[in-house]
Amino acid sequence: MLRLWGRTSSINVRKVIWTAQELKLTLQRTDAGGQFGLVRETDYLSHNPNGLVPLIEDEGFRLWESNVIVRYLCARHSPGSLYPQETQARFIAEQWMDWQQTSFNPAGRDAFLQLMRTPSAERDEARLARSISATQPLLAMLEAHLSRQPYMAGEQFTMADIPIGCEIHRWLGLPLQHPEMPNILRWFQSLCERSSARGVLDQPLA
C-alpha cells in the first residue's frame, strides 16, 4: 500500500493522488499541512526536512517533492508508458515537468494567493497584475506547443501531463478573463475525461 501525507487542497498533493489513481494503486492518505498541521512535528521532519507536503511511503521507502514522486511512481509502475523508456522522449517529459515547477507555478502563484487566499479588501493589486502578466507568455508558449501534438511529450499521455494539467486546472479556476486557448482547452478536456483525474480536475480550488 502507498501512504501519502498531504491535504487535497494542495496542488502538489493532487499530482500524487492523480498519479496513484492513474496507476490503480491502493492509496492511504493522511491530511497534513495547512490547517491540519503535522508537518512541523519531529517525526514528520525526520522524513521530510522541508516540512512541506506531499510525502509518500512505499514499502518503507519515503520520498518528498511532488514531481519527483510522480516520476518515481511512473518509473516503478508504468515504464515505457507513463514513464517513457526511450531516453530523448523521457527527457522531453522531464523538461516540461521542470518547467511547471520552475517557470509556470512561480509565475502564477501570486495570482492564486491574491484571488483565492487573500480577502478582497487586503489584496495587493500590483502583485496580482504582475503575476497575470508573467503567466500570459507562458500560456502562449504552452498553447503553441500543444498546437503541434496532443500531449505534452508527444502522441501519448505521460507523466508530464499530470503536473501541468494540475497547474492549468488551478489557473482556469481563477476568476479572471482568460484569453482564447483552443489547444490548451482541447488538451485539458482530454485530461478531464480520464477516470483517473476524478477527484482532482473536477474539484474546485481551495
**Which tens digit of pLDDT belongs to each residue from 36-73?**
999 999 999 999 999 999 999 999 999 999 999 999 99
**Measured distance CA(145)–CA(148) in Å, rounded:** 6
Judge: domain 87-197, CATH 3.40.50.300. no
Does the predicted TM-score (pTM) go above 0.85?
yes
> From residue 204, how far is each of 8, 10, 56, 73, 199 by CA, in Å?
11, 12, 24, 26, 10
CB burial of residue 162 (10 Å; 0-12, 13-18, 19+):
buried
32, 38 contact by CB (below 8 A): yes
What are the pLDDT digits (tens) for 121-130?
999 999 999 9
Whether the per-residue pLDDT at 206 is higher than 80: the answer is: no
In this structure, are residues 89 and 96 in contact, taking their beta carbons and an 8 Å threshold? no
pLDDT in tens, 68-122: 999 999 999 999 999 999 999 999 999 999 999 999 999 999 999 999 999 999 9
Please name the CATH architecture into which domain 2-77 falls: 3-Layer(aba) Sandwich (3.40)
Handedness of CA 11, 38, 51, 44 (dihedral sign): negative
Q: How far is CA 191 from the centre of its chain?
A: 13
Show me where the domains of the chain are located: 2-77, 87-197
Q: Residue 191: CB partners within 8 Å, gap ≥ 6? A: 157, 161, 165, 197, 201
Instruction: Specify whether the CB–CB gap between 187 and 150 falls below 8 A.
Output: yes
